[in-house]
Structure 1
């Protein structure tokens, strides 16, 4: 398999560039990423529809990955509860090497093809659930093994990769292959590839949560009120919905604990 993500950068002698030239070169490459994502929106659509259907029937969404990809999955999963007010176990991010690997690389963790399923079993993953493998290379053994075993157990599988035709895509019912080309710094897939995966994760989880009813209009009505900024944002939403003053809106919000509940109570 020829991995585009490992091909030599089209920018030569970057160690001799000025700071401005380096920044401009990185930015020029970054501008190509949304265009690459746009090309695979039909793939993302199929995955989002399928994940939504499973989750409407009680399923959960799992991400597995190693290194940068694994960290991106953990970030997306961890942001769903505060953003959409969903239970912490609705979306689960698992990284090769465990939580230690979020901050510090764990040697050879991504090369163990059996470990992902062991990690997933700790969450009692079952046929109602969805599993998405994240790997820029499209070849990471940890992810390949996890997807392969998951399919054998009737679990819906998908992936977000940055090379076409790899073993991870082959193990996915709904592969998303975003080909962003060589990196500015040869092989550094935390750059364009990581950006592409982050964009797709944003699109996927946000779309699924909207279709699961966790958004009203264009507002995060179920967000957790974990700081003053979010209480203020929620108060403004309640004011707008009910056409009341700030003090009354804040009182309703704090009394009922969410924008949705405050609006429902205030509408009676």
Structure 2
């Protein structure tokens, strides 16, 4: 199914094609209201629905949501069961909306560790939306970037031992091909809610040149206007990818100093004995 008409905002700058979000703060949101953690998770599901729909409408190419990390299995079993149940309910209830918006669902992570019922619902929803040609919604489930890289390296090693790979030919692109979803481009913008200044083991390989935007808003309070604020901040960034900014590319970098200039440079003195 095709996506509906796109309503891309005018940012007066580049638009992020792939957005990844660390959805943090559900527990703090609930605690601040005197409610149990599960209330925060339920409110967070509503935000997932709203932000997914907004991104699809604005023409985002890919949206990756950090839904459940490999470390989250350490949480109380009752909370884990609740999160898995919320996942099943969300996927079941949102199928019609995903189809209406032309959204294709993909999931990354150690999915084999998910409960059987959750995995079944997930696979069914992936199959149902497989032919949609709008935004790709990627849920990172039982996901950790270190696990992803370790799993990829293990697969590379197996293929090298089996003679399918020449060890001398292995490079970055080789390893990328063994990550969970090598076809999806790296994120342009990573948004983190909840105010913490860290990536939390999320897309470490793919985040090399992503722009970061952190908001103090907890995930249940993250709105479409907050999303647009992140987009506007992104539009003002200058992405260099290790190169020079455009103005320096035009005029060239400053020339290396001559021997005469170096000889006239001030000497630094120190009372300490130099090694």
User: How does the TM-score come out when normalised to structure 2?
Assistant: 0.32
Structure (1/2) with the larger helix percentage: 1
**Which of the pair has the greater relative contact order for Cα pairs under 8 Å at 6+ separation?**
2
Tell which structure's C-alpha radius of gyration is larger. 2
